[in-house]
Amino acid sequence: MYRRTLELRLEAEVTVFDHKCVKMSEGVYEISDGFEDDEPDAMKNTDIDGKLYANVRAFKPSPRDGVVSSDGVIGHHNSTERDQLQTSYSNMTKERDQLQTSYNTLTKERDQLQTSYNTLTKERDQLQTSYNTLTKERDQLQTERDFLSGRFTNLKQTCSEGWQKFDSSWYFLSTETKTWKKSREDCMERGADLVIINSDKEQEFLFKLNKGFWIGLTDSVTEGTLIWVDGTPLTNPRYWSPYQPDNGGDKPEEYGEEDCVHIHKEQSPRKSWNDLSCDSKLYWVCEKVV
Ligand SMILES: [Ca+2]
Ligand SMILES: [Ca+2]
Ligand SMILES: [Ca+2]
Protein backbone atom coordinates (compact mmCIF):
# COMPACT_ATOMS: atom_id res chain seq x y z
CA MET A 1 0.00 0.00 0.00
CA TYR A 2 2.72 2.39 1.05
CA ARG A 3 4.77 1.44 -2.00
CA ARG A 4 1.87 2.11 -4.34
CA THR A 5 1.26 5.53 -2.74
CA LEU A 6 4.93 6.36 -3.18
CA GLU A 7 4.86 5.34 -6.81
CA LEU A 8 1.80 7.42 -7.48
CA ARG A 9 3.35 10.42 -5.74
CA LEU A 10 6.55 10.08 -7.77
CA GLU A 11 4.62 9.81 -10.99
CA ALA A 12 2.61 12.90 -10.06
CA GLU A 13 5.77 14.83 -9.29
CA VAL A 14 7.35 13.82 -12.56
CA THR A 15 4.23 14.96 -14.43
CA VAL A 16 4.21 18.29 -12.60
CA PHE A 17 7.89 18.66 -13.32
CA ASP A 18 7.37 17.99 -17.02
CA HIS A 19 4.59 20.54 -17.04
CA LYS A 20 6.83 23.12 -15.34
CA CYS A 21 9.56 22.53 -17.87
CA VAL A 22 7.28 23.33 -20.77
CA LYS A 23 6.01 26.47 -19.03
CA MET A 24 9.54 27.58 -18.22
CA SER A 25 10.82 27.22 -21.75
CA GLU A 26 7.86 29.24 -22.96
CA GLY A 27 8.63 31.90 -20.33
CA VAL A 28 12.26 32.15 -21.34
CA TYR A 29 11.32 32.66 -24.91
CA GLU A 30 8.87 35.40 -23.92
CA ILE A 31 11.40 37.09 -21.63
CA SER A 32 14.09 37.19 -24.30
CA ASP A 33 11.56 38.96 -26.51
CA GLY A 34 10.91 41.41 -23.64
CA PHE A 35 14.60 42.13 -23.32
CA GLU A 36 14.65 43.14 -26.95
CA ASP A 37 11.78 45.52 -26.33
CA ASP A 38 12.47 46.91 -22.86
CA GLU A 39 16.21 46.81 -22.19
CA PRO A 40 17.59 50.24 -21.43
CA ASP A 41 20.42 51.38 -23.73
CA ALA A 42 22.76 51.76 -20.76
CA MET A 43 22.74 47.99 -20.21
CA LYS A 44 23.91 47.13 -23.66
CA ASN A 45 27.45 45.72 -23.85
CA THR A 46 28.44 47.22 -20.47
CA ASP A 47 29.04 44.04 -18.33
CA ILE A 48 28.96 40.28 -18.35
CA ASP A 49 25.25 40.23 -17.84
CA GLY A 50 24.89 42.57 -20.67
CA LYS A 51 26.93 40.24 -22.84
CA LEU A 52 24.81 37.36 -21.77
CA TYR A 53 21.68 39.19 -22.58
CA ALA A 54 23.24 40.21 -25.84
CA ASN A 55 23.87 36.58 -26.59
CA VAL A 56 20.34 35.80 -25.73
CA ARG A 57 19.18 38.48 -28.03
CA ALA A 58 21.47 37.28 -30.78
CA PHE A 59 19.95 33.78 -30.54
CA LYS A 60 16.37 33.64 -31.67
CA PRO A 61 14.99 30.46 -30.20
CA SER A 62 11.79 28.91 -31.32
CA PRO A 63 9.38 28.00 -28.46
CA ARG A 64 10.11 24.32 -29.21
CA ASP A 65 13.80 24.62 -28.39
CA GLY A 66 12.76 24.92 -24.73
CA VAL A 67 15.07 24.76 -21.79
CA VAL A 68 18.33 23.68 -23.30
CA SER A 69 18.52 26.11 -26.15
CA SER A 70 17.08 29.13 -24.36
CA ASP A 71 19.07 28.89 -21.09
CA GLY A 72 21.78 26.29 -20.47
CA VAL A 73 21.97 26.80 -16.64
CA ILE A 74 18.26 26.31 -15.91
CA GLY A 75 18.08 23.37 -18.32
CA HIS A 76 20.97 21.62 -16.67
CA HIS A 77 19.46 22.16 -13.22
CA ASN A 78 16.10 20.75 -14.25
CA SER A 79 17.55 17.74 -16.00
CA THR A 80 19.62 16.95 -12.87
CA GLU A 81 16.47 17.08 -10.75
CA ARG A 82 14.73 14.86 -13.26
CA ASP A 83 17.66 12.42 -13.18
CA GLN A 84 17.55 12.40 -9.41
CA LEU A 85 13.84 11.70 -9.47
CA GLN A 86 14.38 9.01 -12.06
CA THR A 87 17.06 7.47 -9.84
CA SER A 88 14.77 7.71 -6.82
CA TYR A 89 12.03 6.13 -8.82
CA SER A 90 14.35 3.29 -9.92
CA ASN A 91 15.52 2.82 -6.35
CA MET A 92 11.93 2.77 -5.13
CA THR A 93 11.01 0.23 -7.79
CA LYS A 94 13.98 -1.88 -6.78
CA GLU A 95 13.04 -1.55 -3.12
CA ARG A 96 9.44 -2.44 -3.97
CA ASP A 97 10.63 -5.59 -5.75
CA GLN A 98 12.79 -6.52 -2.77
CA LEU A 99 9.87 -5.91 -0.44
CA GLN A 100 7.66 -8.05 -2.71
CA THR A 101 10.26 -10.84 -2.54
CA SER A 102 10.51 -10.49 1.23
CA TYR A 103 6.74 -10.53 1.46
CA ASN A 104 6.55 -13.72 -0.61
CA THR A 105 9.27 -15.36 1.50
CA LEU A 106 7.52 -14.37 4.72
CA THR A 107 4.17 -15.63 3.40
CA LYS A 108 5.80 -18.95 2.59
CA GLU A 109 7.44 -19.11 6.02
CA ARG A 110 4.14 -18.22 7.71
CA ASP A 111 2.42 -21.06 5.82
CA GLN A 112 5.15 -23.49 6.86
CA LEU A 113 4.86 -22.35 10.47
CA GLN A 114 1.08 -22.76 10.29
CA THR A 115 1.58 -26.32 9.01
CA SER A 116 4.11 -27.01 11.75
CA TYR A 117 1.72 -25.59 14.32
CA ASN A 118 -1.12 -27.80 13.08
CA THR A 119 1.12 -30.87 13.16
CA LEU A 120 2.32 -30.06 16.66
CA THR A 121 -1.23 -29.45 17.86
CA LYS A 122 -2.22 -32.85 16.51
CA GLU A 123 0.81 -34.49 18.14
CA ARG A 124 0.07 -32.76 21.42
CA ASP A 125 -3.51 -34.08 21.35
CA GLN A 126 -2.26 -37.60 20.63
CA LEU A 127 0.21 -37.33 23.49
CA GLN A 128 -2.53 -36.06 25.77
CA THR A 129 -4.66 -39.09 24.87
CA SER A 130 -1.71 -41.42 25.45
CA TYR A 131 -1.04 -39.73 28.76
CA ASN A 132 -4.66 -40.18 29.86
CA THR A 133 -4.62 -43.83 28.83
CA LEU A 134 -1.35 -44.44 30.65
CA THR A 135 -2.59 -42.66 33.76
CA LYS A 136 -5.65 -44.89 33.77
CA GLU A 137 -3.53 -48.00 33.27
CA ARG A 138 -1.15 -46.91 36.01
CA ASP A 139 -4.06 -46.44 38.42
CA GLN A 140 -5.41 -49.87 37.54
CA LEU A 141 -1.98 -51.42 38.04
CA GLN A 142 -1.61 -49.66 41.38
CA THR A 143 -4.96 -51.02 42.50
CA GLU A 144 -3.98 -54.48 41.32
CA ARG A 145 -0.61 -54.23 43.03
CA ASP A 146 -2.24 -53.17 46.31
CA PHE A 147 -4.67 -56.07 46.07
CA LEU A 148 -1.90 -58.58 45.32
CA SER A 149 0.37 -57.15 47.97
CA GLY A 150 -2.46 -57.50 50.52
CA ARG A 151 -3.03 -61.06 49.42
CA PHE A 152 0.68 -61.81 49.60
CA THR A 153 0.90 -60.46 53.16
CA ASN A 154 -2.13 -62.54 54.07
CA LEU A 155 -0.60 -65.67 52.58
CA LYS A 156 2.73 -65.04 54.28
CA GLN A 157 0.96 -64.85 57.63
CA THR A 158 -1.02 -67.96 56.80
CA CYS A 159 2.07 -69.98 55.95
CA SER A 160 3.98 -68.94 59.03
CA GLU A 161 1.28 -69.84 61.53
CA GLY A 162 0.67 -73.51 60.95
CA TRP A 163 -1.74 -73.34 58.04
CA GLN A 164 -1.77 -76.06 55.40
CA LYS A 165 -2.93 -75.91 51.82
CA PHE A 166 -5.31 -78.31 50.15
CA ASP A 167 -6.72 -77.66 46.65
CA SER A 168 -7.61 -73.99 46.50
CA SER A 169 -7.86 -73.33 50.25
CA TRP A 170 -5.70 -72.96 53.33
CA TYR A 171 -6.72 -74.71 56.55
CA PHE A 172 -5.86 -74.04 60.16
CA LEU A 173 -6.41 -76.73 62.81
CA SER A 174 -6.48 -75.33 66.32
CA THR A 175 -4.34 -76.74 69.12
CA GLU A 176 -6.82 -75.78 71.83
CA THR A 177 -10.57 -76.19 72.34
CA LYS A 178 -13.30 -73.53 72.42
CA THR A 179 -17.07 -73.12 72.08
CA TRP A 180 -18.41 -72.92 68.50
CA LYS A 181 -18.86 -69.13 68.79
CA LYS A 182 -15.36 -68.51 70.22
CA SER A 183 -13.87 -70.81 67.62
CA ARG A 184 -15.50 -68.81 64.85
CA GLU A 185 -14.21 -65.54 66.35
CA ASP A 186 -10.68 -66.96 66.32
CA CYS A 187 -10.96 -67.83 62.61
CA MET A 188 -12.22 -64.33 61.81
CA GLU A 189 -9.26 -62.79 63.62
CA ARG A 190 -7.06 -64.85 61.31
CA GLY A 191 -8.83 -63.38 58.28
CA ALA A 192 -10.79 -66.61 57.68
CA ASP A 193 -13.93 -68.39 58.91
CA LEU A 194 -14.90 -71.85 60.11
CA VAL A 195 -14.51 -74.43 57.35
CA ILE A 196 -17.26 -74.91 54.77
CA ILE A 197 -17.30 -78.38 53.19
CA ASN A 198 -17.96 -78.32 49.44
CA SER A 199 -16.82 -81.72 48.17
CA ASP A 200 -16.02 -85.35 48.96
CA LYS A 201 -12.34 -84.56 48.59
CA GLU A 202 -12.51 -81.77 51.13
CA GLN A 203 -14.53 -83.95 53.54
CA GLU A 204 -11.95 -86.74 53.29
CA PHE A 205 -9.05 -84.35 53.74
CA LEU A 206 -10.63 -82.96 56.92
CA PHE A 207 -11.46 -86.41 58.29
CA LYS A 208 -7.81 -87.40 57.93
CA LEU A 209 -6.84 -84.60 60.35
CA ASN A 210 -7.99 -87.19 62.87
CA LYS A 211 -9.56 -84.88 65.43
CA GLY A 212 -13.07 -83.96 66.50
CA PHE A 213 -13.55 -80.25 65.56
CA TRP A 214 -16.13 -77.59 64.80
CA ILE A 215 -17.10 -76.88 61.17
CA GLY A 216 -18.93 -73.77 59.94
CA LEU A 217 -22.46 -75.20 60.01
CA THR A 218 -25.29 -74.32 62.44
CA ASP A 219 -29.07 -74.19 62.87
CA SER A 220 -28.92 -71.75 65.77
CA VAL A 221 -31.00 -69.14 63.94
CA THR A 222 -33.92 -71.41 63.00
CA GLU A 223 -34.10 -74.89 64.46
CA GLY A 224 -33.81 -77.50 61.72
CA THR A 225 -32.53 -75.04 59.08
CA LEU A 226 -28.79 -75.62 58.77
CA ILE A 227 -26.81 -72.74 57.32
CA TRP A 228 -23.10 -72.43 56.44
CA VAL A 229 -21.14 -69.48 57.88
CA ASP A 230 -21.19 -67.73 54.47
CA GLY A 231 -25.02 -67.67 54.64
CA THR A 232 -25.75 -70.47 52.15
CA PRO A 233 -28.19 -73.16 53.30
CA LEU A 234 -26.98 -76.75 53.57
CA THR A 235 -27.82 -78.79 50.49
CA ASN A 236 -25.45 -81.45 49.15
CA PRO A 237 -22.96 -82.85 49.78
CA ARG A 238 -23.72 -83.77 53.40
CA TYR A 239 -21.92 -86.32 55.56
CA TRP A 240 -24.06 -87.00 58.66
CA SER A 241 -23.34 -89.80 61.11
CA PRO A 242 -26.16 -92.27 61.46
CA TYR A 243 -29.27 -90.76 63.10
CA GLN A 244 -27.87 -87.24 62.98
CA PRO A 245 -28.72 -84.43 63.21
CA ASP A 246 -30.99 -85.24 66.13
CA ASN A 247 -30.96 -81.92 68.06
CA GLY A 248 -30.07 -83.85 71.21
CA GLY A 249 -32.35 -86.79 70.57
CA ASP A 250 -35.20 -84.29 70.27
CA LYS A 251 -35.17 -84.08 74.04
CA PRO A 252 -33.70 -80.60 74.64
CA GLU A 253 -34.85 -80.67 78.25
CA GLU A 254 -32.66 -83.75 78.71
CA TYR A 255 -29.60 -83.16 76.44
CA GLY A 256 -29.87 -79.50 75.63
CA GLU A 257 -30.27 -77.92 72.16
CA GLU A 258 -27.82 -79.18 69.55
CA ASP A 259 -27.36 -76.38 67.01
CA CYS A 260 -23.67 -76.57 66.01
CA VAL A 261 -22.00 -79.20 63.80
CA HIS A 262 -18.68 -80.98 64.26
CA ILE A 263 -16.76 -83.80 62.60
CA HIS A 264 -16.67 -86.87 64.78
CA LYS A 265 -13.31 -88.63 64.45
CA GLU A 266 -14.63 -92.03 65.42
CA GLN A 267 -17.01 -92.27 62.47
CA SER A 268 -16.31 -93.21 58.85
CA PRO A 269 -14.98 -90.51 56.49
CA ARG A 270 -18.28 -89.85 54.73
CA LYS A 271 -20.49 -90.38 57.78
CA SER A 272 -18.93 -88.21 60.46
CA TRP A 273 -21.07 -85.10 61.11
CA ASN A 274 -22.96 -84.65 64.33
CA ASP A 275 -24.90 -81.77 65.83
CA LEU A 276 -23.86 -80.82 69.35
CA SER A 277 -24.48 -78.13 71.94
CA CYS A 278 -22.72 -74.95 70.74
CA ASP A 279 -21.33 -74.44 74.26
CA SER A 280 -19.26 -77.65 74.07
CA LYS A 281 -15.53 -77.04 73.79
CA LEU A 282 -13.87 -78.63 70.76
CA TYR A 283 -10.97 -78.07 68.40
CA TRP A 284 -11.89 -76.15 65.25
CA VAL A 285 -10.74 -75.78 61.62
CA CYS A 286 -10.56 -72.43 59.83
CA GLU A 287 -10.64 -72.19 56.05
CA LYS A 288 -9.21 -69.41 53.89
CA VAL A 289 -10.07 -69.58 50.18
CA VAL A 290 -7.15 -68.49 47.95
CA1 LIG B 1 -14.57 -75.44 51.62
CA1 LIG C 1 -30.53 -78.00 66.26
CA1 LIG D 1 -26.49 -84.74 67.63
Q: What is the pLDDT of residues 228-251, one digit of tens each?
A: 999 999 998 999 999 999 998 867
Q: Give the span between the Cα atoms of 202 and 215, in whole angstroms.
A: 12
Most distant CA pair in the chain: distance in Å?
Answer: 178
Among 30-44, 166-180, 181-195, 228-242, the minimum mean pLDDT is found in 30-44
- 216 CA from centroid of ligand 1 (Å): 10
Distance 115 CA to ligand 1 centre (A): 67
Distance CA 254, CA 252 (A): 5
Distance 215 CA to ligand 1 centre (A): 10
User: What is the per-residue pLDDT for 267?
Assistant: 85
**pLDDT at site 91:** 95
* Nearest listed ligand to the Cα of residue 262: 3
Count the helix, strand and coil residues of the chain and give each as a percent rounded to the nearest 5.
60, 15, 25
Q: How many Å lie between the centroid of ligand 3 and the Cα of residue 259?
A: 8
What's the confidence (pLDDT) of residue 270? 93
Give the separation between CA 228 and CA 219, rounded to whole angstroms: 9
171: helix, strand or coil:
strand
Q: What is the pLDDT of residue 52?
A: 40
Residues 6 or more apart whose CB falls under 8 angstroms from that of 239 comprise 197, 203, 269, 270, 271, 272, 273
Strands 193-194 and 271-276: unpaired
Domain ranges in the chain are 2-117, 163-289
- CATH superfamily, domain at 163-289: Mannose-Binding Protein A, subunit A (3.10.100.10)
Distance 247 CA to ligand 2 centre (A): 4
Number of C-beta neighbours around residue 134 at 10 A = 10
Cα–ligand 1 centroid distance for 250 (angstroms):
29
H or E segment at 99? helix 72-160
Closest among 288, 269, 258 to 180, alpha carbons compared: 258
Give tens-digit pLDDT for 135-155.
Answer: 999 999 999 999 999 888 877
Contact partners, residue 15, CB within 8 Å, separation at least 6? none
State in Å: Cα 288 to ligand 1 middle: 8
CA 167 to ligand 1 centroid distance, Å: 10
248: alpha, beta or left? (left if phi > 0; alpha if psi -120 to 50): left
The Cα–Cα gap between 105 and 178 comes to 94
Confidence of residue 266 (pLDDT cuts 50, 70, 90): confident
CA 142 – ligand 3 centroid, Å: 50
Residues with CB under 5 A from ligand 3 (ion): 244, 246, 258, 274-275
pLDDT attached to residue 1: 53
Q: How far does CA 192 lie from the centroid of its chain?
A: 44
pTM: 0.50
